[in-house]
A and B are shown apart, each in its own frame.
Chain A
Amino acid sequence: MAVIEAVGLGKRYGSKPAVINLSFRVNPGSVTGFLGPNGAGKSTTMRLMLGLDNGDGSTTFDGVPFRSLQQPMRHVGALLEASAFHPTRKARNHLRMLAAANSIPNARVDEVLALVGLSSVAGDKPRKFSLGMGQRLGIAAALLGDPHTLILDEPANGLDPQGINWLRNLLKQLASEGRSILVSSHLLSEMAQLADELVVIGRGQLITSGPIRDFITSSQRTSVIVRSPDMSVLGPALAERGGYAVESEAGTYSVTGIGQTDLGDLAHEVGARLHELRTREATLEEAFLDATGMSEEFVGQTVRPGHQPGGGAWLPQHGQPPPGPPPGPPPSAPPVGPVDPGAPR
């Protein structure tokens, strides 16, 4: 059982800050997802945690910095990059070399090779390996010392769907044994199924951390779907309570700023009939995009089908966009709420 405690991590490349005063905690018995847009500083953070990069702050594993750990692979297993092996050193020898430094018996090498499904190619040179096989070898290296803590940077890269499923089950199993696991990934749907907790960063700074459920439910894209023939009554009333409604399809509104229970009570108060009332929870991807929307390091342009280069503006067609991203599909009518509560349907 080990707690990872990162405090005040910081790193600059010249004048450009890569990680800024980043603090978080990873608890035993959980998988903590480490999310952030490209260039957010996830890999740099992981390297800082392991003492591979020099920077500010400190990270401890049960109170001990990585560089002070005796036989560190028995405490912390790390996967930082795919294909970190000599192409002509056989897979088994690669692991035996790492094991030798940590007094890990050779029998354990064969155990982890079997665990990751590489027993049949243990005597092969990794230059023949696919990206997924290389990734499995890296995971085997991380597991070699049977560590209580795992730090994995994009471990699912290159894995096929079966491999991803295997990895998910493996990490959940390891977490259930009380280990602390920090995993970065761009596969948000995968992370939604895997992680118990999240640390989200953008431009090197902490955006949020905590249980994944809290992160999703606090998203602006979590909304209440309401269908009512009396929207002309209900619309102004919910606007007064700070709600914001957007018609998502004919007669159906997506409401943010007010919860399902409160909206039901409000409808009762103003005498509006409800034909549908339910909560639509944001996906992790939506919540992530919400949280990191202004933190992207590299932003691509949207290309509209049939768009002619230099051929006009990119403004929305139906007035100003609502504050925050629209829930669900694009609105087919102007929003109902503080902007225009009584808009005709």
Chain B
Amino acid sequence: MTAAFRYEWRRLWTIRSTYWLIGGTLAFQFLLSLIIAASIDPLDTVLSDGQITSSVVSVGASIGNVPLFSAYIIAMLGVFSFGHEYRHGMIRSTLTAVPNRGAVLTAKIVTTAVVAAGLAFLCALIGLLNAALFLGGDVTVNTSFVWKVILGLVVYTVLFGLCGLGLTGLLRNQTGALALILLFPSVIEGALHILMVIPEGEDGINKVASFLPFDAGGQMFARPLFSDVIDIFGYVPLEPLEGGLVFGAFTLVVAALTGALFIVRDA
């Protein structure tokens, strides 16, 4: 198992894409959180201190209806973890260096999760720093509310990254997986959401809408102000823990399917 970890760790840090994805994520987070923090007037909003800080930390995602952009970028690390194996014909070299496929997959999962968690947390700290710098005088930044949101977005980012990894392992096609991981939460799930939620009176379907995996996962960090407005169509978002469990279960299913196929398929 340690051989697989050594291999995967070396694999990750010897390609340029790792650096530009990490650099891009941090730069994006810094600039966006700075702009948001600088543009909010705490005295001219109905948001609570926790919501204001969270919106800076999550670059607007905690307010709802805005994707957690950093998670999308970080998910590409997961996609590339498997994608490069298949796109560049590396998978056979990998498996002749480490024949234990279970170990290879485990190393990829753990490495992706650790890097995603670390990067998401670093992004949150950057957001907190900007919030403290620009809003610290009027807003209490360091609250349990904010730290729960940070926990949620870190877990969400990790699961998002693992979904990217898993979908790439399933498809064995980097471009297809990249398109899927970017479009599924934003476009496909969004469209399904509208189709399910708009017809009024269909309570069963409305309930299913809240179980769409990425939407459910988003509840881990979403603290919308106008949740009662969303309720107009009968859509009731899951609680953060429920949403996390749904998204976690989805990720687990994807990972299990990927693992099973990775072991039985030809390399």
A residues near B (Cβ < 8 Å) are 47, 50-54, 66-67, 69, 71-73, 76, 78, 80-81, 83-90, 93-94, 96-98, 100-103, 141
For B50-77 the 0/1 string (1 means CB < 8 A from A) is 0000000000000000000000000000
Complex CA distance for A71 and B96, rounded to whole angstroms? 10
Q: Which residue of A lies closest to B80 (CB)?
A: A86
Asked if B266 and A84 make an inter-chain contact with CB atoms under 8 angstroms apart, the answer reads no
**Highest count of chain A CB atoms <10 Å: which of B7, B93, B265, B266:** B93
Asked if A89 and B99 make an inter-chain contact with CB atoms under 8 angstroms apart, the answer reads no
B230 at the interface (CB under 8 A from A): no
Given contacts A87-B88, A93-B14, contact A52 B93 (CB under 8 A): no
9 closest Cβ pairs, A-B complex: A101-B7, A93-B14, A52-B267, A53-B266, A100-B6, A97-B10, A101-B97, A84-B89, A67-B99
Which of A53, A81, A90, A94 touches B89 (beta carbons < 8 Å)? A81
Grouping DSSP codes into helix (H, G, I), strand (E, B) and loop, the B interface class, with mixed when no group exceeds half, is: helix
For B218-234 the 0/1 string (1 means CB < 8 A from A) is 00000000000000000
- List chain A residues, Cβ under 8 A from B7: 97-98, 100-101
Q: Which residue of A lies closest to B267 (CB)?
A: A52
16 additional A-B pairs beyond A88-B15, A89-B15, A101-B7, beta carbons within 8 Å, are A50-B99, A73-B96, A76-B96, A78-B96, A80-B93, A80-B96, A84-B88, A84-B93, A85-B89, A85-B90, A86-B15, A86-B90, A88-B17, A98-B97, A101-B6, A102-B97
Given contacts A85-B88, A86-B90, A87-B88, contact A52 B96 (CB under 8 A): yes
Asked if A52 and B92 make an inter-chain contact with CB atoms under 8 angstroms apart, the answer reads yes
* Interfacial residues of chain B within 69-110, with CB under 8 A of chain A in the complex: 84, 88-90, 92-93, 95-100
Q: Which residue of B lies closest to A98 (CB)?
A: B97
Q: How far is the CB of A10 from chain B (nearest CB, A)?
A: 14
Q: Report 9 cross-chain contacts, Cβ distance below 8 Å, ordered by A residue.
A: A80-B93, A81-B89, A85-B90, A85-B93, A88-B15, A98-B7, A98-B93, A100-B6, A101-B7
Q: Which residue of B lies closest to A48 (CB)?
A: B266
Q: Which residue of B lies closest to A125 (CB)?
A: B16
Asked if B14 and A83 make an inter-chain contact with CB atoms under 8 angstroms apart, the answer reads no
- List chain A residues, Cβ under 8 A from B266: 47, 52-54
B43 at the interface (CB under 8 A from A): no
Complex CA distance for A81 and B86, rounded to whole angstroms? 13
Grouping DSSP codes into helix (H, G, I), strand (E, B) and loop, the A interface class, with mixed when no group exceeds half, is: loop
- List chain B residues, Cβ under 8 A from A93: 10, 14
How many residue pairs link A and B with beta carbons under 8 A? The number is 86
Which of B11, B100, B265 touches A97 (beta carbons < 8 Å)? B11
Complex CA distance for A51 and B265, rounded to whole angstroms? 11
Asked if A54 and B264 make an inter-chain contact with CB atoms under 8 angstroms apart, the answer reads yes
For B1-44 the 0/1 string (1 means CB < 8 A from A) is 00110110111001111000000000000000000000000000
- List chain A residues, Cβ under 8 A from B96: 50, 52, 66, 72-73, 76, 78, 80
Q: How far is the CB of B6 from chain A (nearest CB, A)?
A: 4
Q: Which residue of A lies closest to B263 (CB)?
A: A54
For B243-267 the 0/1 string (1 means CB < 8 A from A) is 0000000000000000000001111
For B177-192 the 0/1 string (1 means CB < 8 A from A) is 0000000000000000
- List chain A residues, Cβ under 8 A from B17: 88
Asked if B4 and A101 make an inter-chain contact with CB atoms under 8 angstroms apart, the answer reads yes
**Highest count of chain B CB atoms <10 Å: which of A86, A87, A102:** A86
Asked if A66 and B99 make an inter-chain contact with CB atoms under 8 angstroms apart, the answer reads yes
Asked if A102 and B14 make an inter-chain contact with CB atoms under 8 angstroms apart, the answer reads no
Complex CA distance for A66 and B14, rounded to whole angstroms? 27
- List chain B residues, Cβ under 8 A from A103: 3
Complex CA distance for A93 and B97, rounded to whole angstroms? 15
Q: Which residue of B lies closest to A104 (CB)?
A: B97
Q: Which residue of A lies closest to B14 (CB)?
A: A93
- List chain B residues, Cβ under 8 A from A52: 92, 95-96, 266-267
- List chain A residues, Cβ under 8 A from B11: 97
- List chain B residues, Cβ under 8 A from A66: 96, 99
- List chain A residues, Cβ under 8 A from B92: 47, 50, 52, 80-81, 84
- List chain B residues, Cβ under 8 A from A80: 92-93, 96
Which of A54, A69, A97 touches B99 (beta carbons < 8 Å)? A69
- List chain A residues, Cβ under 8 A from B264: 54
Complex CA distance for A84 and B10, rounded to whole angstroms? 17
Q: How far is the CB of A137 from chain B (nearest CB, A)?
A: 11
Complex CA distance for A85 and B14, rounded to whole angstroms? 12
Q: Which residue of A lies closest to B264 (CB)?
A: A54
Given contacts A54-B264, A69-B99, contact A102 B3 (CB under 8 A): yes
Q: How far is the CB of B184 from chain A (nearest CB, A)?
A: 26
- List chain B residues, Cβ under 8 A from A81: 89, 92
Complex CA distance for A51 and B96, rounded to whole angstroms? 9
Asked if B93 and A141 make an inter-chain contact with CB atoms under 8 angstroms apart, the answer reads yes
Q: Which residue of B lies closest to A97 (CB)?
A: B10
**Highest count of chain B CB atoms <10 Å: which of A52, A71, A78, A103:** A52
- List chain B residues, Cβ under 8 A from A96: 10, 14
- List chain B residues, Cβ under 8 A from A98: 7, 93, 97
Asked if A101 and B267 make an inter-chain contact with CB atoms under 8 angstroms apart, the answer reads no
- List chain B residues, Cβ under 8 A from A78: 96
Given contacts A86-B84, A96-B10, contact A73 B99 (CB under 8 A): no
- List chain B residues, Cβ under 8 A from A100: 3, 6-7, 9-10
Complex CA distance for A87 and B89, rounded to whole angstroms? 11
Asked if B99 and A72 make an inter-chain contact with CB atoms under 8 angstroms apart, the answer reads yes
Asked if B3 and A71 make an inter-chain contact with CB atoms under 8 angstroms apart, the answer reads yes
